Structure 1
Amino acid sequence: MKKTLIGLAMAALTALPVLAQDAEKTLYFYNWTDYYPVELLAKFEAETGIKVILDGFDSNDTLLAKLQSGGAAYDVIVPSDYVIPGLIKDGLLLKIDTPSMTNYVHMKDAFKNPDFDPTHEYSAPYLWGVTGLAYDSAAIGGAEIEHSWKELFEPRPEFEGKIAELDTASDVILAASLYLGIPQCTESNDDAKRILDLLEAQKPKLKMYSSDSTVDRMASGEVAMYHVWNGATARATAQRDTIRFIYPKEGTPMFRDNFAVPANAPHPENAKIFINWMMAPENAAAVSNAIAYANAIKSDEFLDPKWRAMDAINMPEDYASRLVPTLDCGPAARELRDKIWTRLKG
């Protein structure tokens, strides 16, 4: 019996290096839901031997809560631009020195030295796009709607009860602020009341608040109007060609999503390998082709021509002045936003 126990113990000790090696070939990837083609992960695993475990979130708020709680350890995360300064300040990100990576040479100049991380010390660009308004033109006999947030907050009768709002406070309240001409980081109670009044008046005309399955809901005709991202609209349009996308004239929020590595990442070197791999033009283009969002890499030669024909992806140049960067609001503004959302959803 003693010999058996000794033998088992020796076997366990012998297995430890193997288990450690397996652990070192792992990458925990925390990304937005439906925001990465899983088949590309198979390519990465085949080329590097690193197994990727993918988990999803539905908003920057969810990501922040996860990181701040320390309840999970991820190797690569995908925060939006305005979130990154706060993560850096709070010591939640690891320095990765993106310019030192071999594939940095493929980054487009327009995306270098961003205001939220000037030397790309903590981040590397993933995808970028806008949040606007999609609608099914068949619901109004093929007509066009006004390029205004008014169509969402004061909808036509044909769309009432068939509208979906994103289920994220920052997106909904920012759109309302733009429509009302209120600064997106307002700390005024009077402004908050105007925003809440608008959203409460809109609420009975909605079918749902949802940030999930946006493509399927539009493509299937479950909803006829959606406050949603341009890439999701493009993918839905590929299935239902009567869908249109508008860039509201009062302001169209622009987002830049990025790769970053949490300070407590269990496999930081694997994270750097993955981020560098994603800056290879053919890999960046593979994501854009699958997800229908533009990337920051010189990858145009690998892009699918079908996306170039859609306004939802190729924004008309004269709409550039409508783009509004999302700001990192201060604590008072965020607290006011949370109060509005709690009242609205309560």
Structure 2
Amino acid sequence: MDTQQNTALTRALAEVPGPLPTSGVIHITLPHTDRFTVVGNHLAQHPDLSCTAVGLAVRIQSLPQGAKVGIKALAARCKEGEKRIAAALRELEAHGYLRRVRDRLPSGRIITRTVFCNRPAALLHPRRPAEAPPQPAKPEPAPAPAPVPMQRPAPAPVCHPTAAPPAPEVPVAPVAPPALSAPLFVPRVPPPTAPKAPRRPLPQPGELTPELDRAATTFLSDLHRHAPQFTLSEDDVRRLVPGVAAWLERAVRPDSIRRTLTDDPPQPLKHPAKLLAHRLTELLPPVPPGVDALAALDRPRPRFTVTPFQTCEDCDRAFRSPTPGHCRDCRETRAAYAQAAA
């Protein structure tokens, strides 16, 4: 069995055109006659897509129309788990290969359609209208035989009206091309030349007093004893002192600041000063409330008096009243009887 395979491989290598490379892959290309899918190199060699996303795109592209391509359906066919498949689908959606479109059926039901495009870049450029095929030239008719001259009476003279001057040509406005519809696939990855949002400045204290400056400097200089990867230079300490002072001014304890700034850093940590500046800016706590605001929270709320229920002495109907007695209907009836008796 091995001898047959080696013979077939040797024969296939002999049919490869040109000299064989001494290193790297050697392609033996056999034409497909059935059950094949055409995949572009823009997908197979995509620089920003993972191999899982590329393989999943090829799997989806090879499926027929109407096939289920949800996360659970793909997990049942592939060896990857649902988390890896979901991440790969997000990659394809970010680069325009996959899109989920919500549509309303005539019955009113809203469904989600999954659309896959094998060439999303082609949808971003307007398509040129197809040129009409050239019409075949019509054969010229054969010349008719010359008529035999015959003598006829001379025709009566006909008076022709004076020819009217030609009408001036009206300029025809050029017809605007039809507006192209918005592309279905729009890449969500911003171009590398897109302007970046400016960074927020480092927080500043209301007043950098000598006590705050000394406390912030001591905190940053001592930070490497608790987290060795956060060893700062003297310039980094001077630059970060206002940010730490702003935290201390807001009544945050030093151990809380240290835990917030050094918890779960990226590995490896290349720029500790930049990470500290980012966390000092983005995780700045709010200003603590004043004494008046806290007193307003502790102030007792006004109580509302609830009128109790009473039972009417005549009809046993329940009604609200501070004192027992009769309901309104019974009081009106008693007043009517008293007036009639008077």
Measured against the shorter chain, the TM-score band is under 0.3
Higher gyration radius (CA): 2
The structure in which a higher percent of residues are strand is 1
RCO comparison, higher one (Cα < 8 Å, 6+)? 1
The structure in which a higher percent of residues are helix is 1
Q: TM-score, normalised by structure 1?
A: 0.19
Q: TM-score, normalised by structure 2?
A: 0.19
